[in-house]
């Protein structure tokens, strides 16, 4: 996994540069550049400021690849089309004319690489915490709880796209094997439990700040985010009882604001980045076009359609595909992107209740329906019918957020997707990148 040591190589280049300067200016003592420290400068006796910079870097890395992962999976799930200059977005991802997905193309390599950059940063943070005396035991526990939770989150995202992942990557020279989804989820659950144990010893506050985690920026409230991820893994693993237990300890509030939750944040500040999924309305290039089925399959009056999409002044067409609507999911180029929010947790609560309590599942589904301007659910009161309804609500509540492809795959419904052109195919999982072949 060559890219896993990118951070090492970049920092080593800085270290080599510093060494060269020391040779030229031999009257100066060797020291770590405070603005661009070497890896060794961080891994040995890191200061609180350096540890906090690693937290910032880890959070920033979590945003990498969001556009490609979201639009790639969204295209394959017939949620959207990405019309831009790259024909692979409307050819490969839709299986045009019998084409197969390329295991060495951007839509495969970028999501994989991006998730592991964040994991590598979190692993560096864990190593740095283990080798410093600058932080107290409680502060170290806080850093560990944060880092382990991030690693777990990134592995979940890998399974959703690739159905497999490499769990152990702490040593770039001795990587663990790529394992299937069940093994990854089992490891993720253990990581999240370990993180909770750390967070329980972290005291009342972190030694660091978390961007986008308003109301989830202390050990106790960050633990609620951790429990939310445990609920996600439990539902994906078919553990309804475990999901309900985790949801009860999360920030889920069935009667609360559905938008509440940790977020990826963006800005126009120097060195920061903007929301990569925001698109200018009626732009002629680089557009996320809404698949017609999203409008056609919606119930009359569903406000999620009008909130998340906008009618273009002129329909957009490319490669034999046409759409009348484009995304309006994010209002500006600095709008935040949810990591997980209460709306998703209520949907998970409904799903977890279907096997044992249809009435409670229906109550949760009605919360989502009513928030979208729809009347209470009134169809058959059976597990099968409620599951169909649940997936419909997830489709509209979580549109263009990297959920639909995985939902269809885990329920064996990918074959139900429409084919937009003669010769198109349906794919529901990305191939492991070529460089990862074992």
In a domain, residue 267? The reply is no
How many domains are there within the chain?
Answer: 2
In angstroms, the CA 309 to CA 312 distance is 9
pLDDT in tens, 49-60: 999 999 999 999
Give me the CATH number covering residue 21.
1.25.40
pLDDT (mean) for 397-401: 98
Shared domain for 149 and 24, answered yes or no, is yes
In a domain, residue 116? The reply is yes
pLDDT (mean) for 268-278: 96
The two structure tokens encoding residue 129:
């915490």
Shared domain for 195 and 299, answered yes or no, is no
Shared domain for 299 and 161, answered yes or no, is no
What is the predicted pLDDT for the residue at 38? 66
Q: Give the global pTM.
A: 0.91
Shared domain for 35 and 135, answered yes or no, is yes
Task: Count Cβ atoms below 10 Å from residue 249 Cβ, excluding itself.
Answer: 15
pLDDT in tens, 24-52: 333 333 344 444 556 777 899 999 999 99
In a domain, residue 420? The reply is no
In angstroms, the CA 18 to CA 24 distance is 10
CB half-sphere exposure, 179, CA atoms < 13 A? 17
Shared domain for 295 and 148, answered yes or no, is no
In a domain, residue 392? The reply is no
From 188, 209, 230, the end of a domain falls on: 209
Dihedral of CA 146/148/154/156: which sign? Answer: negative
From 273, 296, 327, the end of a domain falls on: 327
- Tell me the average pLDDT of the chain: 92
In angstroms, the CA 166 to CA 69 distance is 18
What is the predicted pLDDT for the residue at 302? 98
From 271, 298, 327, the end of a domain falls on: 327
| Tokens 């406000």 found at | 303
Shared domain for 11 and 125, answered yes or no, is yes
299 bridge partner residues:
none
pLDDT (mean) for 396-402: 98
In a domain, residue 409? The reply is no
In a domain, residue 260? The reply is no
Shared domain for 35 and 142, answered yes or no, is yes
Supply the range of the domain harboring residue 26: 2-209
Separation of first and last alpha carbons in the chain: 10
Shared domain for 57 and 181, answered yes or no, is yes
Shared domain for 192 and 296, answered yes or no, is no
Task: Count Cβ atoms below 10 Å from residue 315 Cβ, excluding itself.
Answer: 12
């Amino acid at each position: 996994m060559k890219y896993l040591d990118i951070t090492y190589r970049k920092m080593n280049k800085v270290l080599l540069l510093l060494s060269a300067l020391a040779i030229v200016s031999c009257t100066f003592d060797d020291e770590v550049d405070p603005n661009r420290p070497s890896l060794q400068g961080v891994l040995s006796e890191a200061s609180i400021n350096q540890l906090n910079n690693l937290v910032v870097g880890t959070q920033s890395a979590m945003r990498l690849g969001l556009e490609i992962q979201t639009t790639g999976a969204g295209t394959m799930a017939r949620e959207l089309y990405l019309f831009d200059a790259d024909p692979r977005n409307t050819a490969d991802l839709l299986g045009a004319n019998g084409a197969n997905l390329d295991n060495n193309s951007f839509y495969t390599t970028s999501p994989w690489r991006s998730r592991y950059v964040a994991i590598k940063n979190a692993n560096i943070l864990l190593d740095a915490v283990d080798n410093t005396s600058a932080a107290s035991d409680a502060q170290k526990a806080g850093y560990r709880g944060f880092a382990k939770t991030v690693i777990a989150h990134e592995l979940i995202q890998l399974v959703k796209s690739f159905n497999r992942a490499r769990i152990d990557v702490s040593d770039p020279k001795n990587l663990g094997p790529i394992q299937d989804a069940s093994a990854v989820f089992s490891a993720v659950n253990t990581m999240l439990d370990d993180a909770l144990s750390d967070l329980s010893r972290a005291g009342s506050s972190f030694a660091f700040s978390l961007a986008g985690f308003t109301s989830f920026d202390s050990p106790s409230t960050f633990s609620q985010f951790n429990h939310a991820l445990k609920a996600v893994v439990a539902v994906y693993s078919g553990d309804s009882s475990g999901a309900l237990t985790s949801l009860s300890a999360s920030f889920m509030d069935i009667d609360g604001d559905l938008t509440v939750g940790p977020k990826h944040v963006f800005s126009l500040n120097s060195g920061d980045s903007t929301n990569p999924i925001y698109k200018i309305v009626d732009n002629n290039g680089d557009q996320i076009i809404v698949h017609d089925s999203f409008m056609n399959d919606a119930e009359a009056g569903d406000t999620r359609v009008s909130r998340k999409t906008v009618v273009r002044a002129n329909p957009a067409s490319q490669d034999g595909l046409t759409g009348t609507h484009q995304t309006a999911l994010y209002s500006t180029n600095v709008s935040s992107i949810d990591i997980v929010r209460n709306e998703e947790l209520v949907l998970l609560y409904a799903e977890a209740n279907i096997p044992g309590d249809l009435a409670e599942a229906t109550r949760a589904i009605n919360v989502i329906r009513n928030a979208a301007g729809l009347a209470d659910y009134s169809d058959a009161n059976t597990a099968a019918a409620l599951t169909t309804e649940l997936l419909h609500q997830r489709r509209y509540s979580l549109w263009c957020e990297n959920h639909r492809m995985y939902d269809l795959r885990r329920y064996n419904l990918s074959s139900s997707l429409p084919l937009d052109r003669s010769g198109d195919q349906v794919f529901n999982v990305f191939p492991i990148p070529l460089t990862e072949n074992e």
